[in-house]
Amino acid sequence: MIRFVLKRLLSILPTLLIVATVAFVMMRFVPGGPFDQERAVPAEVERALRAKYHLDDPLAKQYGDWLWALVSRGDLGPAFKYPNRTVNEIIALSLPISMQLGVLAMIFALLVGVPLGIVGAVRQNTWKDTAAMATAMVGVSIPRFVLAPLMILIFSLTLFWFPVARWETWRHMVLPVVCAGLPMAAYLARLTRGGMLEVIRSDFVRTARAKGLSERRVILRHALRGGMLPVVSYLGPGFSHLLVGSLVVEKIFNIPGMGRYFVEAAMNRDYNLVLGVMLVYGVLLMVFNALVDVAYAFIDPRVELG
């Protein structure tokens, strides 16, 4: 078991190295550098800046230095556009916020989506099913950047229940978490319903019923375990959708998370910051995928650990 987990986690490293290398090379071959967008930077200042950050070294050396700093000291380098701040500092400040948003949104999605899907499956082809699935369809179809302004219009600017922006108290968190989590909740509802419907007619569920178990117990203890498989395998990609979705949510609600830095840094050619944020995203995503694999093996006895 532990060997399987370790092996799975180690297999992340090569992929990560490829992502880092591709991103590094792409960044340096792109026209425009971090210092050529400022107005009226005298040539000698730019030269000094480039020298300071070793941007004139050969590409291979830059790459080697960068990789060595990362591997030996976990150092992602200075952020060009934020003088006196390193990429590590920026990530240390913004990552916890993004993680809070992501984790809360995922919990919200599971708490809303899975029960909705169960209702749909258990009451198949009744009005409850139709209503649940119509809601889910609307949920997967409304983009977050339409949903968020709508919710702000209704709950902040008309009803004054929640603040419009920022990330401080729980009241600030409600709207962003719901916006980030709702599309995923809708999606999970569809997946859960599909998974449950497949299981609900299978032999072991019939056996459970025949044993005289209560319907509630049959559904929640026996059917749900099998019905959750598609849901669990979706959590990996779902997490990545959530990360991407949080780019939008962070922008609209003015939340100082990592997503905001990423888009800005990419546009500003802030090489180190882009690479740093990308690597953090990559690690998060792949570690999460690995955990999902492990969880999957736990739930489904047919999966062999190898």
Residues that bind another protein (CB under 8 A): 15, 19, 23, 26-27, 30-32, 124-125, 133, 137-138, 140-143, 145-146, 148-150, 152-153, 157, 183-184, 187, 190-191, 193-194, 197-198, 230, 234, 236-238, 240-241, 243-244, 247-248, 251-252, 262-263, 266-267, 274, 278, 281-282, 285-286, 289
Q: How far is the CB of 249 from another protein (least distance, A)?
A: 11
Q: How far is the CB of 68 from another protein (least distance, A)?
A: 23
Contact call for residues 219 and 195 (beta carbons, < 8 A): no
Q: How far is the CB of 31 from another protein (least distance, A)?
A: 4
For the record, the structure tokens of 119 come out as 């209702």
Q: How far is the CB of 41 from another protein (least distance, A)?
A: 18
Nearer to another protein, 130 or 214 (CB): 130
Render 169-186 in DSSP notation, one character per residue: SHHHHHHHHHHHHHHHHH
C-alpha–C-alpha distance, residues 21 and 195, integer Å: 39
Q: Rounded to 5, what percent of the chain is helix, strand, coil?
A: 75, 0, 25
Helix crossing, 12-29 with 2-10: angle to 10°?
Answer: 10
**Residues 6 or more apart whose Cβ sits within 8 Å of residue 293:** 8, 236
Nearer to another protein, 222 or 260 (CB): 260
* CB-based burial label for 47 (10 Å; 0-12, 13-18, 19+): middle
Nearer to another protein, 208 or 249 (CB): 249
Nearer to another protein, 27 or 173 (CB): 27
Nearer to another protein, 66 or 234 (CB): 234
Nearer to another protein, 53 or 239 (CB): 239
CA atoms within 13 A on the CB side of 296: 18
Nearer to another protein, 84 or 244 (CB): 244
Q: Which of 59, 61, 246 is nearest to 145 (CA)?
A: 246
Q: How far is the CB of 139 from another protein (least distance, A)?
A: 9
Render 1-19 in DSSP notation, one character per residue: -HHHHHHHHHTHHHHHHHH
How many beta carbons lie within 10 A of that of residue 57, not counting itself?
A: 14
Which conformational region is residue 37 in: left (phi greater than 0), alpha (psi within -120 to 50 degrees), or beta?
A: alpha
For the record, the structure tokens of 165 come out as 């922006």
Q: How far is the CB of 81 from another protein (least distance, A)?
A: 14
Nearer to another protein, 19 or 104 (CB): 19
Q: How far is the CB of 52 from another protein (least distance, A)?
A: 24
Residue 145, classed as helix, strand or coil, is helix
Q: How far is the CB of 157 from another protein (least distance, A)?
A: 6
